[in-house]
A = this chain, B = another copy of it.
Amino acid sequence: MSDAIRVGVIGAGYWGPNLVRNFFEAPGAEVVAVCDLAQERLDAIRKRYPSVRTTRDHRELIADRAIDALCVVTPVSTHERLAGEALRAGKHVLVEKPLAATVAEAESLVALARAQDRTLMVGHTFVYNPAVMKVREILRSGKVGDVYYVDSQRVNLGLHQFDINVLWDLGPHDVSIVLYWLEAEPDWVACMGASYIQSSIEDVVFLEMGFPSGALAHAHLSWLAPGKRRTMTVVGSKQMVVYDDVEVAEKVKVFDQGVERMDPDELRRSYRAGDTYAPRIAATEALQLEVRDFIQAIRSGRPAVADGEAGLRVVRVLEAAMRSLREKGSRVPYREKVRA
């Protein structure tokens, strides 16, 4: 394994150790160093992976020429600075989602990666989730027909962040999934929300996106709910698909029913409830597929599915949504008009 990709991880909080474990399980890579400000986190890593070097100074990892790739698993506000340093030092970089705190920062990272000819990837783990991939496959097959709308519920109790609101915390999941499924960017974004627990940090938001095809996406994101819910419904002209990530046995269900267009002579629309069908979903861990895509992108030079561009698109939606939030929910264009 002498030509394994040598990986460093900056940030060993909740998510970092998952990345470490997955790089250890993936062929063709090994974690050589982990950095965190908290010594007890580093101790925990070392107890589990005695061969891994640990440090509290991320510059050691940036400077280490033996490290090929760096994972940035730190608060959003630091993404641009840390990922930028790593790219400039010639590393390939995997940044946790969202890619950056602003569109400007995300654009700068994308440009920098291109200039340095390095792989830039963002941790949109859900686009590597086998159930999410199965839904895209179903949508591509054409059986669902035209997509009318996508409705998403992503709520649960607790884990309020103190530095970002629920839109930036949970929203990247829904936005990255919807853009991946529809293979399109929205025309406009609207967002409404409220802050109940911490002033000026929204814990409940309703996000809308309108697409060129006429499709609509709606997401209810909340830290304030009685239980975990992770349900996305795709309503198409021919079929409907429900993806419920909390469901154990049937994560994806296809409803073979549609609505016929109106017959003006009938008082009520016919109600055609058909069969339902739940395809088998592979049990592979999404993060493992993500890590492998990163490794292959580095080796082959081709972009990862969740490449920097994908990360930038999600940040664009979030930034537009923030503006809508401040304007009490009015529609905001996805792309700013070019300023003269």
CB neighbours (8 Å) of A187 from chain B are none
Asked whether, in the complex, the Cβ of B329 is within 8 Å of the Cβ of A151, the reply is: no
- Minimum CB–CB distance from A285 to chain B (whole Å) comes to 16
User: A118 to B180, alpha carbons, bound, how many Å?
Assistant: 59
On chain B, the residues within 8 Å of A259 by CB distance are 157-158, 160, 197, 223-224
- In chain A, positions 223-248 with a C-beta closer than 8 Å to chain B are 223-228, 233, 235, 237, 240-242, 246, 248
Cα of A197 to Cα of B238 in the assembled complex, Å: 12
User: Contact: B50 with A50, CB < 8 Å?
Assistant: yes
Q: Is the CB of A159 within 8 A of B271?
A: yes
Q: Are B206 and A158 in contact (CB under 8 A)?
A: no
Residues on B with beta carbons closer than 8 Å to the beta carbon of A269: 158-160, 162, 197, 223
The copy count of this chain in the complex is 4
Q: Per-residue 0/1 for A105-143: is the Cβ within 8 Å of any B Cβ (1 yes, 0 no)?
A: 000000000000000000000000000000000000000
Query: Which of A171-179, A272-280, A291-299 contacts its partner?
Result: A272-280
Contact across chains for B328 and A331 when beta carbons are under 8 A apart = yes
Is A208 at the interface (CB under 8 A from chain B)? yes
Is A161 located at the chain interface by the 8 A CB criterion?
yes
Interface string of A206-229 (1 = CB under 8 A from B): 101000001010101011111110
Given contacts A192-B190, A204-B149, A329-B190, contact A158 B197 (CB under 8 A): no
Assess whether B206 is in contact with A218, with CB atoms less than 8 Å apart.
yes
Closest Cβ–Cβ distance, residue A9 to chain B (whole Å): 17
| Contact residues in B for A190 (Cβ distance below 8 Å) | 192, 329
Chain B residue nearest to A218 in the complex (CB): B206
CB proximity to B under 8 Å, residues A317-337? 328-331
A246 surroundings in chain B (CB, below 8 A): 248
Interface positions of A from 27 to 84, Cβ below 8 Å from B:
47-48, 50-51
Chain B nearest CB from A169 CB (Å) reads 11
A272 (CB) vs chain B CBs: closest residue: B158
Instruction: Identify which of A90-98, A249-257, A307-315 touches chain B.
Output: A249-257
A284 in the interface (beta carbon within 8 A): no
Name the residue of chain B whose CB is nearest to the CB of A265. Answer: B162
Other-chain contact of A24, B47, B224, B227 (Cβ < 8 Å): B47
Contact A226/B257 with A159-B269, A206-B206, A331-B328 known, Cβ cut-off 8 Å: yes
Which residues on A are within 8 Å of B, measured CB to CB? 24, 47-48, 50-51, 148-149, 151, 157-162, 190, 192, 194, 196-198, 204, 206, 208, 214, 216, 218, 220, 222-228, 233, 235, 237, 240-242, 246, 248-250, 253, 255, 257, 259, 261-262, 264, 266-280, 328-331
